[in-house]
A = this chain, B = another copy of it.
Amino acid sequence: MSERLYLYDTTLRDGAQTQGVQFSTAEKLRIAAALDRLGIDQIEGGWPGANPTDSAFFDEVEPGRAVVTAFGMTKRAGRSAENDDVLAAVMNAGTASVCLVGKTHDFHVTTALGITLEENVENISASIAHLVASGREALFDAEHFFDGFKQNRAYALECVLAAYEAGARWVVLCDTNGGTLPGEIAGIVREVIAAGIPGDHLGIHCHDDTGQAVAGSLAAVDAGVRQVQGTLNGLGERCGNANLTTLIPTLLLKEPYASAYETGVTLEALRGLRRVSRMLDDILNRVPQKQAPYVGASAFAHKAGLHASAIAKDPRTYEHIEPEVVGNARIVPMSNQAGQSNLRARLAEAGIEVEKGDAALPLILDKVKERESRGYAYDTAQASFELLALEELGPASRFFELERYRVISERRRNARGEVVIVSEAVVTIAIGGERITSFYENPYGDEMQDAGPVNALWNALAKDLGRYQALVDDMRLVDFKVRITGAGTEAVTRVIIDSEDSEQRRWSTVGVSANIVDASVEALVDAVRWKLMQGQAAGAAAGEAAE
């Protein structure tokens, strides 16, 4: 009989406290939906009332399988829970579940809050009781619990017992400063259970300040807690929280956890783990950590010659799990054979069937390698990859050539003395023997509205594409990502453009150059060519159907 273990995600709250991370409401909603699909039990969405983004998130979040929890703090001393405006703002988010953080370390009560130890216990009891009386599920985040326990065992226990006795569904033991080692965590958890809070009412919240947040969380589970808190990719204050992207596969795949516990994440959902991790990096425009356990690009890369040759005989020789189980893939830089079968699989996905042993396959692999070493990223830009492969595989139509362009961005004062920003572009293309020049100037001049040189170029390019105009009119640009790769004088810019059409197709193309405008133009031209290729295929199919 396996026991239920609950996963609680705080990417949107503690994760938002990562230096350099700032989520928009739309991004928070997208992350919450992905967590829900993954099978996370509970999602801490933020602190309603603390900032406009968090408040908007709770207004807009759609109900899913996961419980969405609002975060706040216990009421302040000298007023009732009902009259605490900070707590009221949290309640006003209207969530079925509310988590309040409170002090349990005597030093913090007197130093940071400056109130008496008794007042603090009363704040905890009254706040949790207020949640329960309002019909909410109550969670209590016991801040600095482990440090507090080591300093003043009796007081730390008094605080968490007060929360439990006031009706908290979960008492979450937080290693807020991240300095407690796994063995200490396990020992203290056992003492809390002995003091009267059952393990299925206890949660664990670890930070990675000694690189042991995952180990500390597992040690707490071993000792009896049944709720584990963490974040995607280990975001969070300072060194981050326990990394759920590492914890989840460990809990599902490794003994004793796999047999002993059941979580809301299925093995099927686990195959999407790498994708969820990458989605977050995309949103943050972060370079994914190659060496991340399970989901990193290098997690199943076998570089040492001895390892690679053994892997060819049996992958179990140097892999602790099968990479596919978490949606990852093996990389063996030495094995061209493995590369070719991967390549064929990828082309087949795009409807391009290539025979095993086709002479073009190594040529495509070489070209991808060479271009990726210059900054291209074909993993993301599938449409550009298909165009590259088709050029190697045989006579592929390029449809049109971009002969020249010129783009201007300008800030100046207009006749009325107001600051205006204007971008304009002129583009010349050749289609067959025909040469077409188009011009675009943005109609605004308002400081925040000029959409810049790439927008101007796109509008000029899309204005007149001759016989292909109908197809170009059917597409629109939906996303534009820029990354500087390399550093200093060797820096190159990689631009990834996502496009969409009326048939709900969405495709990504890539351009690379030291000049951001030129990189963008390359990605734009690929985006149009890919759309024209689909139009051509549809036309051919329609022709066949008519015959």
Most buried by B among A18, A177, A317, A479: A317
Surface stretch bound by B, among A260-268, A299-307, A530-538: A299-307
- Smallest CB separation, A434 vs chain B (Å): 18
- Smallest CB separation, A299 vs chain B (Å): 5
Set B298, B331, B337, B484: member contacting A51, Cβ < 8 A: B337
Tell me the bound Cα distance from A491 to B287 in angstroms: 13
- Smallest CB separation, A509 vs chain B (Å): 15
Q: A111-B314, A112-B313 are in contact. Are A409 and B239 (CB under 8 A)?
A: no
Q: Does A409 lie within 8 Å of B515, measured CB to CB?
A: yes
Chain B residues in 8 Å Cβ range of A413: 403-404
Interface residues in A, total, Cβ within 8 A: 128
Tell me the bound Cα distance from A290 to B301 in angstroms: 24
Q: What are 11 pairs between A and B in contact, CB < 8 Å?
A: A18-B291, A19-B290, A19-B303, A53-B336, A73-B306, A107-B316, A181-B218, A211-B243, A239-B298, A448-B514, A452-B518
Set B111, B285, B296: member contacting A317, Cβ < 8 A: B111
Q: Does A344 contact B (CB under 8 A)?
A: no
Q: Does A277 contact B (CB under 8 A)?
A: no
Chain B residues in 8 Å Cβ range of A181: 218, 250, 254
Q: Does B238 lie within 8 Å of A298, measured CB to CB?
A: yes
Q: Does A474 contact B (CB under 8 A)?
A: no
Q: Does A482 lie within 8 Å of B482, measured CB to CB?
A: yes
Chain B residues in 8 Å Cβ range of A294: 209-210
Set B178, B216, B247, B480: member contacting A320, Cβ < 8 A: B178
Q: Nearest chain-B residue to A408 (Cβ)?
A: B408
Q: A450-B514, A479-B484 are in contact. Are A408 and B407 (CB under 8 A)?
A: yes
Q: Does A16 lie within 8 Å of B337, measured CB to CB?
A: yes
Q: Does A291 lie within 8 Å of B238, measured CB to CB?
A: yes
Tell me the bound Cα distance from A409 to B493 in angstroms: 15
Q: A177-B319, A254-B179 are in contact. Are A453 and B112 (CB under 8 A)?
A: no
Set B287, B296, B318, B421: member contacting A177, Cβ < 8 A: B318
Chain B residues in 8 Å Cβ range of A290: 19-20
Q: A112-B317, A210-B320, A211-B293 are in contact. List 6 more A-B contacts (CB 8 A).
A: A51-B336, A111-B314, A210-B246, A287-B287, A450-B515, A452-B518
Q: Does A392 contact B (CB under 8 A)?
A: no
Chain B residues in 8 Å Cβ range of A20: 290, 298, 377, 379-380
Q: Nearest chain-B residue to A372 (Cβ)?
A: B22
Set B179, B211, B372, B407: member contacting A214, Cβ < 8 A: B211
Q: Does B484 lie within 8 Å of A481, measured CB to CB?
A: yes
- Smallest CB separation, A238 vs chain B (Å): 6
- Smallest CB separation, A69 vs chain B (Å): 17
Q: Does B453 lie within 8 Å of A299, measured CB to CB?
A: no
Q: Does B179 lie within 8 Å of A237, measured CB to CB?
A: no
Set B51, B111, B211, B451: member contacting A313, Cβ < 8 A: B111
Q: Nearest chain-B residue to A114 (Cβ)?
A: B313
Q: Does A94 contact B (CB under 8 A)?
A: no
The digit string for A382-411, where 1 denotes a CB below 8 A from any CB of B, is 000000000000000000001111111111
Q: Does B19 lie within 8 Å of A379, measured CB to CB?
A: yes
Chain B residues in 8 Å Cβ range of A269: none
Chain B residues in 8 Å Cβ range of A517: 409, 423, 452-453
Chain B residues in 8 Å Cβ range of A379: 19-20, 22
Set B22, B335, B447: member contacting A513, Cβ < 8 A: B447
Q: Does B482 lie within 8 Å of A487, measured CB to CB?
A: no
Tell me the bound Cα distance from A287 to B178 in angstroms: 24
Q: Does A335 lie within 8 Å of B421, measured CB to CB?
A: no
Q: Does B222 lie within 8 Å of A451, measured CB to CB?
A: no
- Smallest CB separation, A87 vs chain B (Å): 14
Q: Does A487 lie within 8 Å of B285, measured CB to CB?
A: yes
Q: A177-B319, A299-B209 are in contact. Are A452 and B514 (CB under 8 A)?
A: yes
Tell me the bound Cα distance from A26 to B490 in angstroms: 12
Chain B residues in 8 Å Cβ range of A234: 291
Q: Does A369 contact B (CB under 8 A)?
A: yes
The digit string for A296-340, where 1 denotes a CB below 8 A from any CB of B, is 111111111111011001101111110000000001010111000
Tell me the bound Cα distance from A181 to B309 in angstroms: 26
Q: Does A183 lie within 8 Å of B518, measured CB to CB?
A: no
Q: Does A521 contact B (CB under 8 A)?
A: yes
Chain B residues in 8 Å Cβ range of A310: 108, 111-112
Tell me the bound Cα distance from A492 to B449 in angstroms: 9
Q: A285-B487, A317-B108 are in contact. Are A518 and B50 (CB under 8 A)?
A: no
Q: Does A404 lie within 8 Å of B412, measured CB to CB?
A: yes
Q: Does A348 contact B (CB under 8 A)?
A: no
Q: Does A486 contact B (CB under 8 A)?
A: yes
Q: Does A298 lie within 8 Å of B518, measured CB to CB?
A: no
Q: Does A24 contact B (CB under 8 A)?
A: yes
Chain B residues in 8 Å Cβ range of A24: 485-486
Q: Does A115 contact B (CB under 8 A)?
A: no
